């Protein structure tokens, strides 16, 4: 099962999109005791820039424009 499919299934289970995204980012980082998961001063920040708002439709997480990892830009 893919990451995006898991997000979709969580949404279909009735979890609001904001909750699904929080579970996949901030909550996952907290569970793994990592200094990531949200964008704020003092945290490590790898970012994924999406073409469309995932709060409107969770499947928008699949429309990746740019990934920024360790300061490097990557395009799919």
| Run means of pLDDT, 10 residues per run, the chain, 76 residues | 92 97 93 89 88 95 93 91
If you ran DSSP here, which 8-state letter would residue 60 be given? G
How many Å apart are CA 53 and CA 41, to the nearest integer? 23
Q: What is the domain range of residue 9?
A: 3-74
Domain count along the chain:
1
Instruction: Read off the pTM.
Output: 0.84
pLDDT at 61: 94
Helix (H) or strand (E) holding 41: none
How many Å apart are CA 74 and CA 44, to the nearest integer? 17
- Beta partners for residue 74, in sequence order: 67
Residue with tokens 């969770």: 58
pLDDT at 52: 97
């Amino acid at each position: 099962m893919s990451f995006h499919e898991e997000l979709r299934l969580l949404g279909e289970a009735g979890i609001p999109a904001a909750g699904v995204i929080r579970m996949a980012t901030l909550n996952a980082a907290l569970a793994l005791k990592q200094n990531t998961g949200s964008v704020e001063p003092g945290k490590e920040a790898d970012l994924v820039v999406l073409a469309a708002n995932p709060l409107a439709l969770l499947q928008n997480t699949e429309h990746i424009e740019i990934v920024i990892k360790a300061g490097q830009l990557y395009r799919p």
